[in-house]
C-alpha cells in the first residue's frame, strides 16, 4: 500500500463540513415562529404575576438573581425557586407545541 499524505488539516475539513451542514440543513423557521408565538401566549396565560415579573426581569431586562431579589425585597432562594417553577411550567405547556 502506498503512503498517502494529506495536505489539509483536519480542522479545515471539519469547518468545511460545518458550513456544508449549515447550508443544507432543513429550514425550521416555521417551527421556531410557532414556538415563539406559543411561548408568548404561555407567558401571558399560564404564569402567576410573580413568575411573569421575575421572568421579565431575568430574561428580558438581564438582571441577575441577586439584583432581582434586592429589587423585589425577596430572598435569593425565593427568586431562584420562582424562576425554576416558571420555566418548568412553560416547558410543560410548550413540550408538545411543535
What pLDDT was estimated at residue 89? 94
Cα–Cα distances in Å, from 24 out to 17, 31, 45, 96, 97? Answer: 10, 17, 37, 26, 25
Q: Within 10 Å of residue 65's Cβ, how many Cβ atoms?
A: 18
pTM listed for this prediction: 0.67
Burial class from Cβ neighbours inside 10 Å (0-12, 13-18, 19+) for residue 80 reads middle
In sequence order, the 6+-apart residues with CB closer than 8 A to the CB of 71 are 57, 63
How many Å apart are CA 30 and CA 27, to the nearest integer? Answer: 8
**What was the pLDDT predicted at 18?**
77
pLDDT digits (tens, 9 = 90+) for 40-63: 999 999 999 999 999 999 999 999
Amino acid at each position: 500500500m502506498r503512503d498517502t499524505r494529506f495536505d489539509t488539516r483536519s480542522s479545515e475539513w471539519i469547518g468545511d463540513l460545518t458550513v456544508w451542514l449549515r447550508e443544507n440543513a432543513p429550514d425550521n423557521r416555521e417551527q421556531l415562529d410557532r414556538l415563539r408565538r406559543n411561548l408568548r401566549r404561555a407567558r401571558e396565560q399560564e404564569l402567576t404575576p410573580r413568575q411573569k415579573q421575575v421572568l421579565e426581569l431575568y430574561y428580558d431586562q438581564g438582571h441577575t438573581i441577586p439584583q432581582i431579589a434586592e429589587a423585589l425585597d425577596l430572598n435569593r432562594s425565593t427568586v431562584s425557586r420562582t424562576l425554576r417553577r416558571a420555566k418548568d411550567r412553560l416547558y410543560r405547556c410548550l413540550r408538545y407545541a411543535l
